[in-house]
Amino acid sequence: MQRFDAVFFMLARLVTVFSLAFLVPLVWTWADDDLKEIEIWLGSFLATLCCGLLLWALTRHARRELDVRDGFLLVNLVWLVLPAFAALPLYFAVPGIGWSKAYFEAMSGLTATGATAIAGLDLLDPAANIWRCLLQLIGGLGIMLLAVAVLPFLGLGGMQLFKAEMPGPMKDTRLTPRIAETARGLWGVYFVLSAACLLAYRWGGMSWQDAFMHMCTTLGLGGFSSHDRSFGYWNSPVLEWTAVVFMSLAGINFARYFMVWRQRSARPLWRDTEVRAYALILLAATVVVTFMVWRGGQYDTFGISLREAAFQVVSVATTTGYATTDYLLWPTFVPILLLFLGCFVSCAGSTGGGIKLVRMLILIKVARRELVRIVHPRVVNPVALGGATVPVNVIWAVMAYMLIYGGSMVGLTLLLLASGLDVVTAFTAIIACLNNIGPGLGKVGPAGNYAVLTDFQVWVCTFAMLLGRLELLSVLVLLTPQFWRR
């Protein structure tokens, strides 16, 4: 393993930096003067810091350029190791949670999935709730991207890390000549939107504590809440429409906002094919769901129907996972449609999960081209997106991704079925975790949670979240013999 020393050297630095995140809940418990909680958070901080420093000391002489394989290995190690440290305080602070569900909760936070295995959130210690939500802020745009942005030494091999971490098929596109500058620009946009969301929630009636936590989970499109009823706790039209706005904004490629700022023009947004399709799908789905629930008599007025439909459509489609009501009680067509939308609506380069809309657009255009070829076999009809021809290697990558996506969904669902879970819960739990949506249907629907699952089922869902967050190929490439050959 000596050839991977440089990977462990980078991992050590990232673990060390990650330990600083524990200071946020630690300061909160210190202010509350809760000795037991202080011990938990201080101990978790010191354990993470010491492990990072020890690994740093052991690998301090390993300094070399990272190659592509190093980048993939490092990304996978980060997303396996950091949830283990993040789970430490949850394991000790949440009564009866167990290590499997504590790791699941931490993985759900860092992957911005929002699937929770904790009941009684209203009674949970505030520091634990803050920690869960903070993990989603950190993981929303990617820990590796954050590292590239704030640690100058990660400019060495930074492009490899960026390609492995950044969601979507168009990973070779740079916004600026230096990858570190690109990362800083994206995080600058993230910070501005986060600050605006925090102030909007506070203005809408949330306390500063709730506003901070829900800002973290709105911009991270994670959906964790400090209340079991999620946004239904407030029953506030102002807060719900505020959430709709910021969830919609977070579902768009952050690179487009960066270009809007650089060019001082909105053209990069409205000229983007993916963004236009994204807005059209959300609008059309909202209209359909509004009509369904209004006609079904779920709500007395059209205005309430529109508000509830818009919130649930945007929440699930962007893979956030907030809820204001148990939409499983709506007409059966609606929850199925919502889960389907969550699989692909988010834009590449956003904090959302799923297949990403740009892949679906490419697949539709490829299918359309093949239909044309049946009628006109000799026609030259390249696949184009936004006025530019899509490279053949991108098309093949999308096709491979979709094949592995389907195979992973079937395989993981069969594992849950073999463990004794019912078919609706098993299938939708895998869809929800693989696409980082959060709530599924059945036992893991918006009115339930993943606490009902066994440890084995929890680990299957945990693996599904990791696969989805790193877009399958970045994880499964480690299982190929070619990856480990010299």
Residue range 37-73, pLDDT digits in tens: 889 999 999 999 999 999 988 888 876 677 777 878 8
pTM of the predicted protein model = 0.90
- pLDDT (mean) for 222-232: 90
Question: Binning pLDDT at 50, 70 and 90, where does residue 157 land?
Answer: very low
**Is residue 2 in some structural domain?**
no
Whether residue 412 is predicted with pLDDT greater than 60 in this model: the reply is yes
Contact 355, 405 (CB under 8 A): yes
Contact, 173 vs 254, CB < 8 A?
Answer: no
Mean local confidence (pLDDT), 15-38: 86
Indicate the SS3 state at residue 172.
coil
Average pLDDT over residues 308-329: 93
**54-63, 144-153, 227-236, 254-263: segment of lowest average pLDDT:** 144-153
- Tell whether the model's pLDDT for residue 165 goes beyond 60: no
- The DSSP string of 45-62 is HHHHHHHHHHHHHHTTT-
In a domain, residue 284? The reply is yes
Token pair in block for residue 327: 């939409």
- Residue 156 pLDDT: 37
| Residue 321 domain flag | yes
Side chain identity at residue 215, one-letter code: M
Residue 465 counted as domain residue: no
Note the pLDDT of residue 183: 72
In a domain, 326, yes or no: yes
The whole domain housing 291 covers: 266-342
- Of 360, 339, 350, 321, the residue nearest 450 (C-alpha): 321
- The mean pLDDT value of the chain amounts to 86
Question: pLDDT tens, 230-241?
Answer: 998 999 999 999
- Cα dihedral: 179, 263, 260, 155 (round 10): 10
In this predicted structure, what is the pLDDT of residue 373? Answer: 86
What is the predicted pLDDT for the residue at 76? Answer: 87
Coil vs helix vs strand at 169: coil
Instruction: Tell me which residue of 208, 300, 432 sits closest to 308, measured CA to CA.
Output: 300
Q: How many domains does the chain have?
A: 1
Q: Is residue 304 part of a domain?
A: yes
Residue 360 lies inside a defined structural domain of this protein:
no
Q: Where residue 196 falls among pLDDT bands split at 50, 70, 90?
A: very high
pLDDT at 234: 93
Provide mean pLDDT across the span 195-214.
95
Residue 326 has pLDDT above 80, yes or no: yes
> Would you say residue 173 has pLDDT above 80?
no
Of 423, 395, 396, 393, nearest in space to 410 by CA: 423
Tokens of 225: 């809440």
Cβ neighbourhood burial of 38 (10 Å; 0-12, 13-18, 19+): middle
- Identify the band that residue 162 occupies on the pLDDT scale cut at 50, 70 and 90: very low
Residue with tokens 């350029």: 65
Contact 288, 341 (CB under 8 A): no
State the DSSP H helix or E strand holding residue 385, giving kind and residue range, or none if neither: strand 384-385
Is the CB of residue 189 less than 8 Å from the CB of residue 258?
yes
Asked if the structure places residue 329 within a domain, the reply is: yes
Residue of 235, 242, 185, 237 lying closest to 219 (CA atoms)? 242
Q: Burial, 297: exposed, middle or buried (Cβ in 10 Å; 0-12, 13-18, 19+)?
A: exposed
Q: How much is the pLDDT for 176?
A: 56
- Name the pLDDT band for 278 (thresholds 50, 70, 90): very high
**Among the listed ranges 21-30, 33-42, 204-213, which one has the minimum average pLDDT value?**
33-42
Residue 179 CA to residue 293 CA, distance in Å, equals 47
In this prediction, residues 259-280 reach a mean pLDDT of 87
* pLDDT value of residue 284: 97
